[in-house]
Amino acid sequence: MPAHTITIVGAGIAGLTTALTFAGKGYEVDIVEQAETLSELGAGLQISPNASRILIDLGLGDALAGAMIRPEEISLVSGLSLRKIAHVPCGAFAAQRWGAPYGVMHRADLQAMLLRAVEAEPRCRLHLGQRIEDGEIASMHARFGQPALTVGADGVWSQTRRLVPGALVPNFSGLVAWRFMMPDDSGRAVLDKRNVTAFLGPNAHLVAYPVDGGRAINMIAITRGMDPGRTWAQREDPSDRRVLLDAFAGWHPDLLSLFRQAPQMTWWPLFGVPDGRWSNDAGTILIGDAAHAMTPFAAQGAAMAIEDGYELAQAFSAAPASARGRALADYETHRRARIGRARKRAAFNKFAYHARGPVRLGRDLVLAVKSPQSLARDLDWLYGYRAAGL
């Protein structure tokens, strides 16, 4: 029945997580996706305990365990000298402290396991090749029925956002992310193929961690860049590599050597969505990057999208039909506070990671005197978070 149907626009991590959660609450779910086939761009991502506990609750624990690598630590290392500055323990420590595993994996593997679960769920119907512009929302409802709720999970360049008065458009952060993969036997002297390493330097940083069962090292280099306009990603052209090398001038020669020998890279302009409205108070709500895309300095983009979808379904399904508007408003208030804190953490990390001069020296001194356990304690509010319903 239409009053018990949810329409989700977008079949990425946010949309698929939302679909599974609503289906588990007994709703019929239509997932509308513009792509003809689902193929996840990007490379690796970090799954922190606040997100992994949700995936486990959705029945993906075994699949997650098979695809996710659990590092023993996250290391902060000088990109100039390769000196280890500090580290946060993970592995068994993370699972015990935060009640769920911390791990890294290929983004495509996460989307694939979510997709398999959606395809196996009889309450979910996936409609590919269905581009929904703002003027076509009525025709979408004519095809799939008027839903109890329309969820815009269609990413930073969301079309659903046009249906929400007061929602703000993306703005360019001034940063680009260069993504590439290295074989696991590359850079043995500088890369730790078992753990997560963040190399820090003036105005730039580089993150490296294993994916694909440890057979490759995922690399993300973030530095300043030009605004290319509305785009997802660009493959580098012959002149781009020099731009990257110039941005990392003065870094350790071993890291510069990795940049020179790396296969073709893809560079992603980093856009954020300012703090505007998420809901039109008429049955449409935005989640994930469509609502609040943020820079990746806290590695929480996917985790926040997973939290959004799970908590939205919990809040909406718990309310009687007459109180759904209030439930959505309460959900948004709750999530906005959580997202705001994650944004502040990302902004702080950017300041710390890209510090230069005396600020960089002060950062290193502060981190050097903090124990790994105290650094972990600083993440309790983030990693130890239990979404409503867990």
Residue 26 lies inside a defined structural domain of this protein = yes
Collect all residues with Cβ–Cβ distance below 8 Å to 76 and sequence separation of at least 6.
Answer: 84, 85, 86, 87, 198, 200, 367
* Mean pLDDT of the 129-150 span: 70
Per-residue pLDDT tens digits for 218-240: 999 999 998 877 766 677 887 88
The region of weakest confidence among 3-17, 104-118, 124-138 is 124-138
Instruction: State how beta strands 171-183 and 216-224 pair.
Output: antiparallel
Q: How far apart are CA 120 and CA 160, in angstroms?
A: 27
Task: For residue 369, report the phi and psi dihedrals to the nearest 5 degrees.
Answer: -90, -5
Examine residue 85 and state whether it is found in any structural domain, yes or no.
Answer: no
Question: What distance in Å separates the CA atoms of residue 166 and residue 164, rounded to the nearest whole number?
Answer: 6
Q: Residue 228 domain-assigned?
A: no
Least Cα distance to 255 among 221, 223, 224 occurs for 221
Instruction: Report the distance separating Cα 21 and Cα 27, nearest Å.
Output: 9
Closest CA to 77 of 241, 251, 223, 211: 251
Helix axis angle for 253-261 and 240-247, nearest 10°, is 170
Angle (nearest 5°) at CA 292 between 288 and 294: 100
Residue 260's pLDDT is what? 93
Q: What is the pLDDT of residue 229?
A: 73
Q: For residues 234 and 297, what is the distance between their CA atoms, to the nearest angstrom?
A: 21
pLDDT of amino acid 135: 53
Written as six digits, the tokens of 311 are 């908590």
SS3 236: coil
The pLDDT tens digits of the residues spanning 63-89 come to: 999 999 999 999 999 999 999 999 999
Q: How high does pLDDT run on average in the chain? A: 91
What are the tokens at 361?
Answer: 């020296």
CA dihedral 30, 35, 39, 42 (to 10 degrees): -110
Contact of 211 with 218, CB cutoff 8 Å: yes
pLDDT digits (tens, 9 = 90+) for 206-219: 999 999 888 899 99
Domain that holds residue 287: 2-68+107-169+273-348
Mean pLDDT of 265-275: 92
Rg of the chain (C-alpha set) = 21
3-state secondary structure of 254: helix
Bridge partner residues of 103 (DSSP): 47
Listing from the earlier edge strand, what are the strands of the sheet with 204-211?
A: 84-89, 73-78, 196-201, 204-211, 216-224, 171-183, 266-272, 234-235
Mean pLDDT of 155-169: 92
Note whether 29 and 125 are within 8 A (CB).
yes
What percentage of residues in the chain have a pLDDT greater than 90?
74
Specify if 87 maps to a domain. no
311: pLDDT strictly greater than 90: yes
> Is residue 257 situated within a structural domain?
no
Percent of the chain with pLDDT over 70: 93
Q: What is the pLDDT of residue 40?
A: 60
Q: Which residue carries 């999970």 as its tokens? A: 153
Contact 150, 104 (CB under 8 A): no
Q: Is 73 helix (H, G, I), strand (E, B) or coil?
A: strand
Residue 334 lies in a domain: yes
Residue 304's alpha-carbon distances to 49, 80, 104, 311, in angstroms, are 12, 32, 16, 10
User: pTM to 2 decimals?
Assistant: 0.94
- Whether residue 134 is predicted with pLDDT greater than 60 in this model: the reply is no
Asked whether residue 73 is domain-assigned, the answer is: no
Q: Which two tokens stand for residue 43?
A: 């490379």
Closest CA to 79 of 199, 162, 239: 199
Tell me the backbone φ, ψ of residue 297, rounded to 5 degrees.
-70, -15
Q: Which residues contact 224 (CB under 8 A, 6 or more apart)?
A: 174, 175, 176, 203, 204, 247
Question: Taking 80 as the threshold, does the pLDDT of residue 132 lie above it?
Answer: no
pLDDT tens-digit profile of 172-182? 999 999 999 98
Q: Which of 188, 178, 295 minimizes the C-alpha distance to 246? A: 178
In a domain, 288, yes or no: yes
Number of structural domains in the chain: 1
CB contact set of 303 (below 8 Å; sequence gap of 6+): 47, 48, 50, 51
CATH number (domain holding residue 306): 3.50.50.60
Q: What is the pLDDT of residue 37?
A: 77
| Cα–Cα nearest to 336, from 297, 313, 304 | 304
Nearest to 62 by CA among 17, 108, 7, 117: 117
Instruction: Tell me the three state secondary structure of residue 285.
Output: strand
